[in-house]
Amino acid sequence: MNISSRQLNAFAVAAVLATFAFHSGAALAGHDSIQVDPALKRYAGQITALGTPDAKGDIYSFRAKRLPSAPAFAPDELRGWRLTLLAGKRFSHVFEVRRNTGAEITVAPLDGPLNGIAVSDVFVLENIAIDRASSPQ
């Protein structure tokens, strides 16, 4: 086998990065550089229907399915969790879950409405509070 110096250098860089990642012990996630505990509960989901707008036309809820498929959430299991949109017009926006039923999620008005979300947008739910001091919103 004939390995070029470019391939050897690329392998060396990959090995150093892998060693650093293995020994660092902390993982970074999301868009705000917070350290995430690997045991932190998180769920992915997809929007299946939009909630009913309020009198001003603002949307604060939606129906969802878990990805991959899993049983529905227990009522208010997600209260206080962080919801981050991972696709669509509201990509990277963060909301606090106010309440939930098995398949419906309602966010707190403090973070503004969900206007702009669409069926098929995906999101992640994490059992972590929003760091409002560094939030871009």
The predicted model scores a pTM of 0.69
The parent domain of residue 75 ranges over 34-126
Q: What is the tally of structural domains in the chain?
A: 1
Name the pLDDT band for 39 (thresholds 50, 70, 90).
confident
Residue 90 lies in a domain: yes
Residue 12's pLDDT is what? 45
Residue 99 lies in a domain: yes
Residue 12 lies in a domain: no
Q: Single out the residue of 90, 41, 89 nearest to residue 66, CA to CA.
A: 41
What does the pLDDT average to over 23-40? 58
pLDDT for 79-93, tens place per residue? 999 999 999 999 999
Residue 17 lies in a domain: no
pLDDT for 43-95, tens place per residue? 999 999 999 999 999 999 999 999 998 888 899 999 999 999 999 999 999 99
Residue 6's pLDDT is what? 53
Mean pLDDT across the chain, nearest whole number? 81
Name the pLDDT band for 130 (thresholds 50, 70, 90).
confident
Residue 77 lies in a domain: yes
DSSP structural state of residue 111: G
Helix (H) or strand (E) holding 16: helix 5-24
CATH of the domain at 120: 2.40.10
DSSP structural state of residue 64: E
Residue 97 lies in a domain: yes
Instruction: Say whether the peptide bond before residue 75 is cis (omega within 30 degrees of 0).
Output: no
Tell me how far apart the alpha carbons of residues 31 and 36 are, in angstroms, rounded to a whole number: 12
Name the pLDDT band for 108 (thresholds 50, 70, 90).
very high
